[in-house]
Structure formats: C-alpha cells, structure tokens
A and B are shown apart, each in its own frame.
Chain A
C-alpha cells in the first residue's frame, strides 16, 4: 500500500506570493490533517478534513486555507506569504476509526517551504 504522498517536496517563494501544497492520503483513508513544523514551535495543527468537510481547525490566520476533494486528496494554500511561514508542512492521513476519538496518523515526507 502506497504511503502518504506530498508534493512538491521543496519550494522557494518570496514574500507576498501564494503557495499551494498537495497531499494524497493512503488509499481508504478519508481523514487528512495538516501540520506546520518549525524548529521553535514544534508540530502545530493547521486543520483536518474528513469527507470534503473541515472538521477541525487550528489557530492560524485566514491566510492558511485548505480543501479536500471527493477522492480524499487534499490541498492547502497559503496566501500573502511571510518570512515566518518558512517551515516543513506535513500532511497526515488516518484510517477510519470505529468510534469517537483520535486515530493514529500516517505522515507524508512533507513539503519544505522557504520564503525569501
């Protein structure tokens, strides 16, 4: 079974630009979460999508947005990039779980964004 695939792996942008990152979850996984990882802040939760609906949202400004398609693939977009947006953006999918509560996350390799 293929793992979580994220594209692009690396990208460089300049301040003010916008960026779109893509994530293909493991087949059969309908939940996709996005995290921002920086050396100083660790893993910060951005949002979670399930069946094309945003189910949870972290504490990030509106410049950060996402969506999920009917095939469970997800994209996140960051508009008006700032220097502080430089980070590793990780996508994770999780399998269906029988009840409420959190399931284990399967992370992709991440997209490393550098904002100059």
Chain B
C-alpha cells in the first residue's frame, strides 16, 4: 500500500500566488527528497532533507522536514509559469524510497 501520502493531488493558482504541497508518512523517515516533473518530462531531483525540523530554501522554494520526521512540505512563494509541473516527495526508510502520489501544479498567467 501507499507508504507516503501527498496532498493536494491538484492545485491551480494564479501567477504570483503562493503554493504549498504536503507529504505525510505513517512511519518515521530517515530522509525526505523532493522531485519536480515538468509536463512530458522526467522527475528531477530538487533537494534532500535529513535532519529533524530541517528547513532549506532554494530561491522561492522552501522545504521543511517535520520534527518527528514523518511529514514534509514544499512552499513556493509568488509562483511563476515556469513552476508548472508535478511535485513529488519521496520518503526514505530502510534503504527504500517511497514516492508520494504527487501534486500537479497549474499556474494561470
């Protein structure tokens, strides 16, 4: 069954609005990774978080790993049309990587 849940499944935002996707696991993770897949493309690694409560930023993207290492979020500030795509989280545990179902982001210009 699905080890990592991700919400929402779809998100439509107006360009300039913020966007957040959430990832939840029923078990403690050793690390969390985030990937972006553009329409028609393949997943591309964005970042990895390892420490409890860790927060990392990449320009307009902010990634958080929960204190209990069971949840994570990706927040995009002031979305742009180039942010369009599906964002996947992937939780690592016992040498396995469990992908969330992804959040498909549409940005309306």
Contacts and interface: CB of A to CB of B under 8 A. Distances in A.
Contacts, number: 52
A56 B95 contact: yes
B52 interface: no
A55 B30 CA distance: 18
A49 B104 CA distance: 30
A102 B32 CA distance: 9
In the complex, which range does the number of interface residues on chain B fall in?
A: 20 to 34
Contact of A106 (B45, B96, B99): B45
Q: Is the interface of A mostly helix, strand, loop or mixed?
A: strand
Given A102-B30, A102-B33, A42 B100 contact: yes
Majority DSSP secondary structure for residues of B touching A: strand
Given A102-B92, A106-B45, A108-B42, A42 B30 contact: no
Given A104-B33, A105-B45, A42 B95 contact: no
Chain A interface size band reads 20 to 34
B80 interface: no
Contact of A107 (B43, B92, B100, B102): B43
Interface of B: 30-31, 33, 35, 41-45, 48, 88, 90, 92, 95-102
